[in-house]
A = this chain, B = another copy of it.
């Protein structure tokens, strides 16, 4: 997990404006270190005693996404979730039966990245991958 101070310093260096609202969103994303929906971000900001409307959160996330600092994923739980991209990206396995989410190291995905680049000359920017399927437990329970 990265500290939000590091991120804020980084953004300032890039000449980005830092507002209270942006700081609030970054704080929440850092503290969570996990996937959050727009609504969850708003709730957590409010739990911190502040307030923020949805449009602003959307705009801030779009801005962070444009800077390559957040990933945007559909984990299949109905709705898009956002997460800060750390030093080393990681990915998730989502069980279609029980909904369990398992974290996967980027090294598992790296060969795919290399292969696509070698074969197609395509430079993938795989910030985050959500792979759906059946987890070990559900598979052993015979839940196809």
A residues whose Cβ falls under 8 Å from a Cβ of B: 74, 93, 95-96, 102, 104, 108-109, 111-112, 115-116, 119-126, 129, 131-136, 139
Given contacts A74-B74, A112-B108, contact A133 B139 (CB under 8 A): no
A93 pairs with B112, CB closer than 8 A? no
CB distance from A139 to the nearest CB of B (A): 5
Complex Cα spacing A9 to B63, Å: 50
Q: Determine the residue in chain B with the shortest Cβ distance to A96.
A: B125
State the CA gap A127–B77 with chains docked (Å). Answer: 18
Q: Copies per complex?
A: 2
Q: A120-B135, A122-B134, A124-B132 are in contact. List 11 more A-B contacts (CB 8 A).
A: A93-B116, A108-B115, A108-B119, A111-B112, A112-B112, A120-B136, A122-B136, A123-B135, A123-B139, A124-B133, A129-B129
The distance in angstroms between the C-alpha atoms of A112 and B133, with both chains bound, is 13
Q: Indicate if the CB atoms of A122 and B108 lie closer than 8 Å.
A: no
Contact B96 A122 (CB under 8 A): no
**Inter-chain contacts of A93 with B (CB < 8 A):** 116, 120, 122, 124
With A and B bound together, what is the CA distance between A134 and B124 in angstroms?
6
